[in-house]
Amino acid sequence: MPERQPGSAPSVTVHLETPSIARVHDYYLGGTANWEVDRAFGDEVLDRFPLMRRIVFAHRLFLNRAVRHMVRQGIRQFLDVGSGVPNAGATHDVADELARETRRPPETRVVYVDNDPVAVAHTELLLDARGDRCRHAVVDADLRDPDALWQLAVETELLEPAEPVGLLLIGLLHLRQPDAEGQECVPAAVAKLRELLPMGSFVAISHVSDDGVPEDVGATLAGLKELLDRSGSGDVHWRSRCGIRSLLGDLRLVDPGWLPATEWRPEETGPSARTTSLPCEEIIWAGVGRKG
């Protein structure tokens, strides 16, 4: 990996004593890439906020629909940033499931990206066991250094930089991303990735929001934020729905537009997708933008 330059993303190290968002997420999805510290914290969150597991499933469900839609639009390569551990229902599974359904050869390439070294190591094992190493790869890279991230993705030789890409930013951008000076850098990092994408690419975003939700749901999200912020696994930021939408910049919004995630093309849900329901649909906003 290229050396990080001053002013770019700070390095990430493995902390065995604090839960990791990637491994807690894996625990909620029924995976095995998690440790006692992650399960204990995951259970503490669920005891107080059972909603959390449903939020995780709702992001996966949106990913399922967005990937299927993009494949139908001709996308054959995905860059999944903040992918965590791509256990069942991950991007490569969804794309290959659609290929089988439509009797096409499985040809979609996927580059997973995460900055959690444990998630990356588990992804390697998982892709060895259940992926196709000619089409699926993972890189240890950081959203906060988008140029290096892009470079590493291209170096896998699975991401063809001149061919349209499906960029996935699912359940990632509400995690605060301080740069080396402590400044939030999500908008700038996403803008840089949009710039790097070739014409014809798509960007899918899903993001938790407390904007306009009923008072009791707002109180739940505030409690959840407090617990997550205290955990040491990274702070969260529930942006407003306009704040989230603005992350797509001037990309053209794909129909049906910018919506609560559960309302985005429900008819596209693949047969193996795990379904869920939320107490209030506006908790997760989602949309897909197209460049050009």
Ligand X SMILES: C[S@@+](CC[C@H](N)C(=O)[O-])C[C@H]1O[C@@H](n2cnc3c(N)ncnc32)[C@H](O)[C@@H]1O
Provide the binding-site residues for ligand X, judged by CB under 6 A: 21-22, 25, 59-60, 63, 81-84, 113-116, 119, 142-144, 170-172, 175, 177
Taking the least distance from each CB to ligand X, the nearer of 89 and 164 is 89
Minimum distance between the CB of residue 114 and ligand X, rounded to whole angstroms? 5
Q: Collect all residues with Cβ–Cβ distance below 8 Å to 54 and sequence separation of at least 6.
A: 276, 277, 278
How far is Cα 89 from Cα 67, in angstroms, rounded to an integer?
A: 11
In the complex, what is the shortest distance from the CB of residue 56 to ligand X, in angstroms, rounded to a whole number?
7
Closest CB 104 distance from ligand X, rounded Å: 25
284, β-bridge pairs: 208
CB of 83 to ligand X, least distance (A): 5
Nearer to ligand X, 51 or 143 (CB): 143
The distance of closest approach from Cβ of residue 25 to ligand X in the complex, given in angstroms and rounded to an integer, is 4
CA-based nearest residue to 35, from 130, 116, 151: 116
> Amino acid identity of 128?
D
* Nearest distance in Å: CB 145, ligand X: 8
Measured CA angle at 60 (ends 254, 277), to 5 deg: 95
Contact in structure between 21 and 119 (CB atoms under 8 Å) = no
Helix (H) or strand (E) holding 193: helix 186-196
CB 259 within 8 A of CB 282: no
When the beta carbons of 145 and 282 are compared against ligand X, the nearer one is 145
Compare residues 211 and 235 and give the one whose CB is closer to ligand X. 235
Phi/psi at 97 (5° precision): -65, -45
For ligand X, the closer CB: 70 or 119: 119
- Which C-beta is closer to ligand X: that of 30 or that of 292? 30
CB atoms within 10 A of CB 200: 14
Q: Is residue 159 within 8 Å of residue 193, measured between CB atoms?
A: no
**Residue with the two structure tokens 């997973």:** 112
34 and 24 in contact (C-beta within 8 Å)? yes
The dihedral built from the CA positions of residue 17, 60, 99 and 74, taken in this order, carries a sign that is negative
- Smallest distance, ligand X to C-beta of residue 103, A: 28
Choose between 82 and 131: whose C-beta lies nearer to ligand X.
Answer: 82
